[in-house]
Chains A and B, each alone.
Chain A
Amino acid sequence: MLKKRLIPKLLLRSQSSGESRRHTLVTTRGFSPAKVVGNPVSQAKIYEAQLADELAVLRIDPGPISEDLRLLDTIERLATETFMPLTVGGGVIFADDFHLLLSRGADKVSVNSAAIRNPSLITEAAGRFGAQCVVISIDFRASSGRSEVFIDRGSTPTGMAPADWAREAVRRGAGEVLLCDIDRDGSGEGLNLDIGAQVADAVDVPVILSGGCGRAEHLVEGFLEAGADAVAAGTYFCLRDQNPLQARSHVANAGVPIRMGT
């Protein structure tokens, strides 16, 4: 049977030191960069050695990804030095961006703000590259007593409920949904199980839940209570004595089907 997945989230931010620029990995708190935690390629290799099921590599700098040549090189290097499923996103605007990233080594491409502004992007990308390559990334936060989808890295409200937008995006061709609770991001308080369950109930495609993992129990809750197919975690693996190998044992011991072999 199909196993549940643990997906480390790698957030890339451009950093300068003196004359040079490089991409570093950061953790975020409520989507604000909090801490530099390492080098992207080094961390990807480490997660691969630790048998992570997939990697989600998300660029958090502003601007179109197609113009970030250094980032594209980093993705290419990363894809050359690891061979595990890679989802890449952050500043994807056009269907051609899918081609660009897939040709640099990504297996799936995630799209967020651009899909809300231009939903036909989803249909075009799914038509050209297949739904299995198209991940709709949905960020949400509490607003006036309910959960609302925000774009532009959490700064612009859309007036939509996560489950409604998820349903629409999937109708247009998205093959997977990546949810993130902005308020819980980096907090360690636990995932938003209510919204996770609502979205899982609204669509027939796999749902990846993220935002807030702080204890191994939170991962288990994401799978068993929210019904997520995968849990993505950024801060969780970076700032604690934790790694995917330890996490998956904990998840397996709770009775969740997860890949255990090497």
Chain B
Amino acid sequence: MAARSTIGIIDYDAGNLRSLCNALEAISADVRLVRHIDDLRPCTHAILPGVGAFGHCIERLRSSRMVDGLADWILHEHRPLLGICVGMQMLADVGEEHGETPGLGWIPGRVRRLPASRATRVPHVGWNDVRFRPPCGSLGADFYFDHSYRFCPADESHSLGTTTHGTEFCAAVRKGSVVGVQFHPEKSQDAGLRFLRWFIESGPHARC
């Protein structure tokens, strides 16, 4: 990378940020924890992490009072934002965990439960291969997943990558300057670092 990038990690007390910070530092990015929207100012990229229940995370994010600022960041300033795991799910219109919960609505779609069976156990836990749509195919690899719900984009063109567990479903989304991934790049060793590097260097606008 030419100049160092400054990654703002949205810290709204809904996830373990340690590994994410580590991973970003390992690829020579500067990391800033964003607890207040002003902390985002000097950043070149933003990451929205998320672990736990959809409703719980949305509630915490709204309580942090950063939602409007983030919406500005992506919709008006077109700056890059990466949602990880529940951070990706929150981008949707609605989450179906514990009834219907409104999401951020930045990428149209719904978050639905993965169907479980003996052959297809849920939570979907472990390493699974993600196929990225061309021309991002070279990002494809096994990534680490740990989730029970998945993002169903309303518009197929927003699907950036898929994986298969029983059925094929969306593992990555992209719309404008926003990218979302269901897997944990910060837990996915070399493949994960490669993905984070792509997000930082090429970003959502890239043709890969």
The chain A residues found within 8 Å of chain B, CB to CB, are 1-5, 48, 51, 53-54, 76, 79-81, 83-85, 102-108, 127-133, 175-176, 200-201, 204-207, 229-230, 259, 261-262
The contact of B125 among A83, A84, A129, A229, by CB within 8 Å, is A229
Beyond A83-B19, A176-B125, A261-B142: 11 further Cβ-contacts under 8 Å?
A2-B126, A3-B142, A54-B144, A105-B19, A107-B184, A129-B52, A131-B148, A204-B116, A205-B121, A205-B122, A205-B123
- The reply to whether A83 and B187 contact each other, CB–CB distance below 8 Å, is yes
Known: A1-B128, A261-B142. A132 touches B148 (CB 8 A): yes
- The reply to whether A201 and B118 contact each other, CB–CB distance below 8 Å, is yes
The chain B residues found within 8 Å of chain A, CB to CB, are 15-16, 18-19, 22-23, 26, 51-53, 56, 86, 116-118, 121-129, 141-142, 144-148, 164-165, 184, 186-187, 189-192
Nearest residue, chain A, Cβ from B118: A204
Bound: A85/B124 CA distance, A: 14
Nearest residue, chain B, Cβ from A227: B118
Known: A3-B128, A107-B187, A128-B56. A204 touches B121 (CB 8 A): yes
- The reply to whether A79 and B19 contact each other, CB–CB distance below 8 Å, is yes
- The reply to whether B128 and A107 contact each other, CB–CB distance below 8 Å, is no
Tell me how many residue pairs across A and B have CB atoms closer than 8 Å.
Answer: 114
Bound: A205/B128 CA distance, A: 16
- Which chain B residues lie closer than 8 Å to A4 at the CB level? 126
Bound: A108/B19 CA distance, A: 13
- The reply to whether A206 and B121 contact each other, CB–CB distance below 8 Å, is yes
Nearest residue, chain B, Cβ from A207: B121
- The reply to whether B51 and A129 contact each other, CB–CB distance below 8 Å, is yes
Residue among B23, B129, B190 with the most chain A CB within 10 A?
B129
- Which chain A residues lie closer than 8 Å to B129 at the CB level? 1
Min CB distance A194 to B, Å, is 17
Nearest residue, chain A, Cβ from B141: A261
Bound: A2/B26 CA distance, A: 27
Min CB distance A65 to B, Å, is 17
- Which chain A residues lie closer than 8 Å to B116 at the CB level? 204-205
Bound: A80/B128 CA distance, A: 25
- The reply to whether A80 and B22 contact each other, CB–CB distance below 8 Å, is yes
- The reply to whether B142 and A259 contact each other, CB–CB distance below 8 Å, is yes
Min CB distance B193 to A, Å, is 9
- The reply to whether B18 and A130 contact each other, CB–CB distance below 8 Å, is no
The contact of B189 among A103, A133, A262, by CB within 8 Å, is A262
Nearest residue, chain B, Cβ from A49: B189
Nearest residue, chain A, Cβ from B165: A2
Bound: A80/B147 CA distance, A: 23
Min CB distance B122 to A, Å, is 7
